Amino acid sequence: MAWTKEQALTKIREVGLIPIVRAPSSEDALKAAEAIIAGEIGIAEITMTVPNALRVMETVAARYGDQVLLGAGTILDPESCRAALLAGAEFIVTPSLNLRVIEVARRYSKPIFPGALTPTEVVTAWQAGADMVKIFPAGPVGGPKYIRALKGPLPHVEMVPTGGVNLETTPEFIKAGAAAVAVGGELVDVKALREGNLEQITKTAKKFLEAIRAGRAALRE
């Protein structure tokens, strides 16, 4: 089944975590996706930096179907965006703000999370039709404090911090107002992949879900 835009956004809001698969080979990327699904997250973003990324997306989509909400990351241009959507991606993530990529994702009625950093970029992305805005790189510019500062004048913008997100900072990002967090190397450990230790990735995935629950519980207090 194809996910509707609202189903995909609801899933991301509920889970609060987007695992980023940036692996050195297509085989490693497939193993990482398998470990993430075993961790009961059900969301995986395959970056275009993975060798044969489109083929990996096609394989994951065919193998797992609606067990996984599949995203395409590191999308830099509208052509790559369209190719990823045709390969089975259900949401699009970019590291930078490209208005033409937003247009293509909207044409296909798929969620788009463009990368932005400054308040001007965040507002430009939101006005262009972003469903959530990826704040990247969040860690080096202040982490959770930066998200809190942005949310002050922009409470209506759903933000997904990326870069500098780990088990320790995840609850703080959620408490600062992040709709979800996106995590790469802190979750998809390349060393564990190479050693075939998929169980470690699965365990780490569950720890991240616990960290998100902790952040949300603190918000309710």
For residue 13, being part of any structural domain is answered with yes
For residue 89, being part of any structural domain is answered with yes
* Total tally of structural domains belonging to the chain: 1
To the nearest whole percent, how much of the chain has pLDDT over 70?
Answer: 100
Per-residue confidence (pLDDT) for residue 137, from 0 to 100: 97
pLDDT tops 70 at residue 152: yes
Structural domain boundaries enclosing 52: 5-114+165-173+180-220
For residue 152, being part of any structural domain is answered with no
For residue 199, being part of any structural domain is answered with yes
Alpha-carbon span 192 to 179, nearest angstrom: 28
Residues with Cβ within 8 Å of 77's Cβ and at least 6 positions away in sequence, in order, are 98, 100, 101
The CATH number given to whatever domain includes residue 14 is: 3.20.20.70
Structure pTM? 0.97
Per-residue confidence (pLDDT) for residue 194, from 0 to 100: 87
Give the residue among 38, 35, 56, 39 at the shortest CA–CA distance from 47.
56
| Range scoring the smallest mean pLDDT among 21-30, 71-80, 191-200 | 191-200
Question: Residues in the chain, how many?
Answer: 221
pLDDT tops 80 at residue 162: yes
Residue 140: cis peptide before it, omega within 30 degrees of 0: no
Mean pLDDT, range 180-187, rounded to an integer: 96
pLDDT tops 90 at residue 190: no
For residue 49, being part of any structural domain is answered with yes
Confidence of residue 1 (pLDDT cuts 50, 70, 90): low
Task: Give the strands of the sheet with 43-47, arranged side by side.
Answer: 112-113, 91-93, 69-73, 43-47, 17-21, 181-183
Selecting among 11, 31, 110, 134, the annotated active-site residue is: 134
Whole-Å CA distances, 35 to 22, 38, 105, 205, 217: 14, 5, 28, 9, 27
pLDDT in tens, 10-49: 999 999 999 999 999 999 999 999 999 999 899 999 999 9
To the nearest whole percent, how much of the chain has pLDDT over 90?
Answer: 94
For residue 144, being part of any structural domain is answered with no
Higher-confidence residue of 189 and 172: namely: 172
Please answer whether residues 138 and 147 qualify as being in contact, where contact means their C-beta atoms are separated by less than 8 angstroms.
yes
pLDDT in tens, 111-145: 999 999 999 999 999 999 999 999 999 999 999 99
What is the rounded average pLDDT for all residues in the chain? 96
Per-residue confidence (pLDDT) for residue 112, from 0 to 100: 98
For residue 77, being part of any structural domain is answered with yes
b/e code 41-56 from CB counts within 10 Å (16+ = b):
bbbbbbbbebeebbeb
For residue 140, being part of any structural domain is answered with no
Per-residue confidence (pLDDT) for residue 23, from 0 to 100: 93
Q: Is 31 a catalytic residue?
A: no
Q: Is 121 a catalytic residue?
A: no
Whole-Å CA distances, 211 to 90, 133, 148, 205: 25, 21, 18, 10
Selecting among 11, 31, 34, 45, the annotated active-site residue is: 45
Q: DSSP for 144-182?
A: HHHHHHHHTT-TTS-EEEBSS--TTTHHHHHHTT-S-EE
pLDDT in tens, 85-108: 999 999 999 999 999 999 999 999
